Amino acid sequence: MSALRKIPATIVTGFLGAGKTTFIRSLLENAGGRRIALVINEFGDVGVDGDILKSCGVESCRDEDIVELANGCLCCTVADEFLPAIEALLKRSDALDHIIIETSGLALPKPLLKAFDWPQVRARVTVDGVIAVVDAAAVADGRFVDDAEKLAAERAADPAVAHDNPLEEVYQDQLFCADLVVLNKIDLLDPDDAERVSRSIAAAARGRAKVIATEEGRVDPAIALGLEAGAEDDLASRPSHHDGSEAHDHDDFDSFVVEVPPLADPADYVRRLAEITERHDVLRMKGFLDVAGKPMRLLVQGVGARFRQQYDRLWRADEARRGRLVVIGQKGLNRDAIEAALR
């Protein structure tokens, strides 16, 4: 391998729960012997994504090649967190074939992309592509856009009504930056809705972006990791709501961790989680739970009120059986009420 070869990097963006970790896991499982390093950034203080990817045991990505950056959203900590992490990876990485960066669901991809334009990074790495994973069902439900008719009616009544939807801005920034859109969870839509959502995404995404509809994030790695976009040279074609300003939207979101006691009836508990989510408009819940009498931990994932759970691995002898759930929502979540309900 030439010492001058730049290592391709892929930035994976996408709103909370769209399926970024699922997509990356599928890539790793089908990587065909490539050695891949992962940089993972999560919103919330429990490293669920890194843990899922570490426990997948895929040869192409070893535990030592996974870097978790937990202090806030990557897009705000580029200089302090991301650059040192990339430099450390590069120092010991002559055998690396590819770097994949999973951003948090609330991260704006453009500030991160700009970091690849810094001389010390661009000399060694090129951005093969920015990939936005989109939850097709959430788009079909109108999760990211305000109801245009309702807004028009509100404005007619009060012309001063501001239109500031933080979900929409994060989602659009992610789409506007992408070279490839992975339109995921297509299994949740009927064919007509799938076609309608696919067309609306193709119209909203960056002109040159491809759109691929997927289930469980399955995309041929030859496509996803071979975009050759050189995205760091093409910042101007990737508009952001935040161009020209340092402001960002994370202050519009809130997250906290709840310690959950051992469960006797996990199915009933997950049903309650879905109710709590609806009642309090929670955007995302995820974590590992301790089920009494079970040697394995229970991975619970909620995106809106849609929940999935599975026993993902044995509790290790050297770890405490701690049940912990991360809860994420828009600012103003009723933390006390949610905590009381979760316990």
Ligand X SMILES: Nc1nc2c(ncn2[C@@H]2O[C@H](COP(=O)(O)OP(=O)(O)OP(=O)(O)O)[C@@H](O)[C@H]2O)c(=O)[nH]1
Name the minimum Å distance from CB 215 to ligand X: 4
Nearer to ligand X, 94 or 190 (CB): 190
Tokens 């978790």, located at residue: 68
Nearer to ligand X, 121 or 136 (CB): 136
Beta-carbon neighbour count of residue 94 at 10 Å?
Answer: 9
Name the minimum Å distance from CB 163 to ligand X: 25
Nearer to ligand X, 72 or 230 (CB): 72
Name the minimum Å distance from CB 308 to ligand X: 4
Name the minimum Å distance from CB 19 to ligand X: 4
Q: Which residues bind ligand X (CB under 6 A)?
A: 14, 16-22, 42, 49, 105, 184-185, 187-188, 215-217, 284, 286, 301, 303, 308
Nearer to ligand X, 10 or 22 (CB): 22
Nearer to ligand X, 49 or 128 (CB): 49
The three state secondary structure string of the chain is CCCCCCEEEEEEECCCCCCHHHHHHHHHHCCCCCCEEEEEECCCCCCHHHHHHHCCCCCCCCHHHEEEECCCCHHHCHHHHHHHHHHHHHHCCCCCCEEEEECCCCCCHHHHHHHCCCHHHHCCEEEEEEEEEEEHHHHHCCCCCCCHHHHHHHHHHCCCCCCCCHHHHHHHHHHHCCCEEEEECHHHCCHHHHHHHHHHHHHHCCCCCEEEECCCCCCCHHHHCCCCCCHHHCHHHCCCCCCCCCCCCHHHEEEEEEEECCECCHHHHHHHHHHHHHHHCEEEEEEEECECCCCEEEEEEEECCEEEEEEEEECCCCCCCCEEEEEEEECCCCHHHHHHHHC
Residues 6+ apart with CB under 8 A from 152: none
Nearer to ligand X, 154 or 215 (CB): 215
Nearer to ligand X, 240 or 255 (CB): 255
Nearer to ligand X, 216 or 278 (CB): 216
**The dihedral sign for the CA sequence 170, 193, 303, 58:** negative
Name the minimum Å distance from CB 282 to ligand X: 12
Name the minimum Å distance from CB 216 to ligand X: 4
Radius of gyration in angstroms for the set of CA atoms belonging to the chain, rounded to a whole number: 20
* Residue least distant from ligand X (Cβ): 105
Name the minimum Å distance from CB 32 to ligand X: 22
Name the minimum Å distance from CB 338 to ligand X: 17
Name the minimum Å distance from CB 301 to ligand X: 3
